[in-house]
Chains A and B, each alone.
Chain A
Amino acid sequence: MSKKVDSTRSSETQSPTVESGNQNATTSSDTSTSDRCDEPIDSSLELRPPLPPRPSLLERGNTAAGGSLRLSKRAARPQLQSQATTALSLADVHTANRLETSSPKSSPASRAVSRKPSLTPSAHQPSIAVSEVDDGASVRSVVPTIGTRLDGESTLGDLIEGAATPAFKALSAQIERANPFDAVLAEDDNLSTQMQHEFQNVESMNKDGQNEEALLNIWKAKLKHFFILSASGKPIYSRHGDDQLISNYIGVVQTLISFYQGAKDPLKGFTAGDARFVMLPKGPLNLVAVSRMGESDAQLRTQLESLYMQILSTLTLPSLERMFSNRPSTDLRRPLEGTDVLLDGLADGFTRGSPSTLLSALECLRLRKSHRKVVDETLLKVRSQNLLYGLIVAAGRLVSVVRPKKHSLHPGDLHLIFNMLFEAGSVKAGGGENWIPLCLPGFNNTGFLYMYVSFFSTSEGALSPEAERPSSAGKDDELAIVLISANKDSFFELRQMRADLVAQLEKNGSMAVIKTAIRKGHASCSDITPGTVLKHFLYKSRGNVQFTMPSFEPHFHGLIAKRKLMSLYHNLHDSIHSRTAHLKVQHTVAYDATALAWETPLFELYCVASSNASRAALVAGANKVVSWIRREEERVFIIGGAVF
Chain B
Amino acid sequence: MTDSTASAPKPSSSVKLVLLGEAAVGKSSLVLRFVNNDFQPNKEPTIGAAFLTQKCQLPSRTIKFEIWDTAGQERFASLAPMYYRNAQSALVVYDMTKPSSLVKAKHWVAELQRQASPGIVIALVGNKLDLCDDDDPEDEAQDGENAEGHEEEAVRKVSTAEAKAYAEEESLLFYETSAKTGHNVSEVFTAIANAIPETSLKGPRTGAGGGTQAAISGGQDTSRVNLNARGADGAAKEGCAC
Give me the interface of A with B, judged by CB distance under 8 Å.
204, 314-315, 334-335, 337-338, 341-342, 420, 424-427, 429-438, 450-451, 464, 466-467, 469, 471, 488-489, 491-493, 495-496, 499
Contact partner of A467 (CB less than 8 A), chosen from B46, B212, B219, is B219
In the complex with contacts A335-B74, A488-B82, A489-B82, A437-B212 CB distance below 8 A: no
List of A residues within 8 angstroms of B79 by Cβ: 437, 488
In the complex with contacts A315-B75, A495-B212, A434-B50 CB distance below 8 A: yes
A491 to B28: give the CA distance in the assembly, Å.
19
A334 to B72: give the CA distance in the assembly, Å.
12
Q: Is the CB of B209 within 8 A of A431?
A: no
Q: Is the CB of B212 within 8 A of A430?
A: no
Contact partner of B75 (CB less than 8 A), chosen from A335, A342, A425, A489, is A335
List of B residues within 8 angstroms of A430 by Cβ: 28, 31-32, 46, 50, 52, 69
A315 to B146: give the CA distance in the assembly, Å.
20
Q: Is the CB of A431 within 8 A of B32?
A: yes
8 A Cβ contacts from B71-120 to A: 71, 73-76, 79, 82
In the complex with contacts A204-B149, A424-B44, A466-B215, A435-B51 CB distance below 8 A: yes
Q: Is the CB of B149 within 8 A of A434?
A: no
Nearest B residue to A464 by beta-carbon distance? B219
Q: Is the CB of A432 within 8 A of B212?
A: no
Most interface-central of A429, A450, A496 (chain B CB within 10 A): A429
List of A residues within 8 angstroms of B71 by Cβ: 338
Is B48 on the interface with A (CB-CB < 8 A)? yes
Given contacts A315-B75, A436-B49, 12 further A-B contacts (CB under 8 A): A204-B149, A337-B73, A338-B23, A338-B47, A342-B47, A426-B43, A431-B50, A434-B51, A435-B50, A464-B219, A469-B36, A496-B212
Nearest B residue to A430 by beta-carbon distance? B50
A451 to B219: give the CA distance in the assembly, Å.
25
Q: Is the CB of B216 within 8 A of A431?
A: no
Q: Is the CB of B50 within 8 A of A432?
A: yes
Q: Is the CB of B35 within 8 A of A493?
A: no
In the complex with contacts A337-B74, A426-B45, A492-B208 CB distance below 8 A: yes
Q: Is the CB of B75 within 8 A of A314?
A: yes
8 A Cβ contacts from B192-228 to A: 207-209, 212, 215-216, 219
Q: Is the CB of B40 within 8 A of A429?
A: yes
In the complex with contacts A430-B46, A488-B79, A492-B208, A337-B215 CB distance below 8 A: no
Q: Is the CB of A334 within 8 A of B215?
A: no
A424 to B71: give the CA distance in the assembly, Å.
15
List of B residues within 8 angstroms of A204 by Cβ: 149-150
List of B residues within 8 angstroms of A492 by Cβ: 207-209
List of B residues within 8 angstroms of A493 by Cβ: 208
Nearest A residue to B48 by beta-carbon distance? A436
A303 to B129: give the CA distance in the assembly, Å.
42
In the complex with contacts A488-B79, A499-B209, A432-B48 CB distance below 8 A: no
Is B53 on the interface with A (CB-CB < 8 A)? yes
Q: Is the CB of B209 within 8 A of A425?
A: no
A342 to B45: give the CA distance in the assembly, Å.
10
A491 to B44: give the CA distance in the assembly, Å.
23
Nearest B residue to A452 by beta-carbon distance? B51
Nearest B residue to A489 by beta-carbon distance? B82
List of A residues within 8 angstroms of B48 by Cβ: 434-438, 450-451
**What are 17 of the A-B contact pairs (CB < 8 Å)?**
A204-B150, A341-B44, A341-B45, A426-B44, A426-B45, A426-B47, A426-B145, A430-B28, A432-B67, A434-B50, A436-B49, A464-B219, A466-B219, A471-B38, A495-B208, A495-B212, A499-B209
A434 to B49: give the CA distance in the assembly, Å.
6
A543 to B145: give the CA distance in the assembly, Å.
42
Nearest A residue to B216 by beta-carbon distance? A466
List of B residues within 8 angstroms of A499 by Cβ: 209, 212, 215
Q: Is the CB of A429 within 8 A of B73?
A: no
A435 to B76: give the CA distance in the assembly, Å.
12
A467 to B221: give the CA distance in the assembly, Å.
9
Nearest CB on B from A531, distance (A): 46
A342 to B219: give the CA distance in the assembly, Å.
33
In the complex with contacts A204-B149, A429-B40, A488-B82, A436-B47 CB distance below 8 A: yes
A467 to B218: give the CA distance in the assembly, Å.
9
8 A Cβ contacts from B135-158 to A: 145-146, 149-150
Nearest CB on A from B225, distance (A): 14
Most interface-central of B44, B73, B215 (chain A CB within 10 A): B44
Nearest A residue to B35 by beta-carbon distance? A431
